[in-house]
């Protein structure tokens, strides 16, 4: 595996673990109510801006993944879409780059 692919994989793992650490802490403190978390994301204009920034980035990443999957026929790369929306762009983007840069046979 190339050094670049190892970096992408490490970033995907970090992007999955690090945000989840904070989400799980929040759920333990506030209860397992997803709507309460959504309300917390919009507690002020700065956090709302960040939520929309990440939502738009996730949508753009999804369009890119789908366009490339249909072009390159790399169907396994579709797994980056649920990773993006269930974990975050911090996991989905490097995961997709890892899957996209695999050697072609």
Whether residue 41 is contained in a domain is answered as yes
Whether residue 73 is contained in a domain is answered as yes
Nearest CA-CA partner of 37 in 96, 89, 81, 88 = 88
Whether residue 28 is contained in a domain is answered as yes
103 vs 5, higher pLDDT: 5
Whether residue 105 is contained in a domain is answered as no
Counting the structural domains of the chain, the total is 1
pLDDT for residue 103? 82
Q: Which two tokens stand for residue 45?
A: 């204009």
Q: How confident is the model at residue 7 (pLDDT cuts 50, 70, 90)?
A: very high
User: For the chain, how many residues are written?
Assistant: 105
Structural domain range at position 21:
3-100
pLDDT tens digits along 29-86? 999 999 999 999 999 999 999 999 999 999 999 999 999 999 999 899 999 999 999 9
For residue 8, pLDDT beyond 90: yes
- Torsion angle in degrees (nearest 10) through CA of 35, 45, 20, 86: 60
For residue 90, pLDDT beyond 70: yes
Whether residue 55 is contained in a domain is answered as yes
pLDDT for residue 9? 98
Q: How confident is the model at residue 105 (pLDDT cuts 50, 70, 90)?
A: low
Whether residue 76 is contained in a domain is answered as yes
83 in Cβ contact with 92 (< 8 Å): yes
């Amino acid at each position: 595996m190339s050094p670049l692919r190892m970096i992408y994989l490490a970033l995907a793992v970090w992007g999955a673990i690090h945000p989840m650490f904070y989400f799980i802490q929040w759920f333990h403190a506030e209860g397992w109510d997803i709507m309460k978390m959504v309300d917390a994301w919009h507690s002020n204009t700065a956090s709302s801006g960040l939520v929309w920034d990440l939502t738009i980035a996730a949508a753009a990443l999804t369009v890119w993944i789908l366009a490339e999957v249909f072009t390159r026929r790399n169907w396994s790369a579709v797994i980056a879409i649920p990773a993006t929306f269930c974990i975050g762009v911090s996991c989905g983007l490097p995961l997709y780059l890892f899957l996209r840069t695999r050697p072609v046979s």
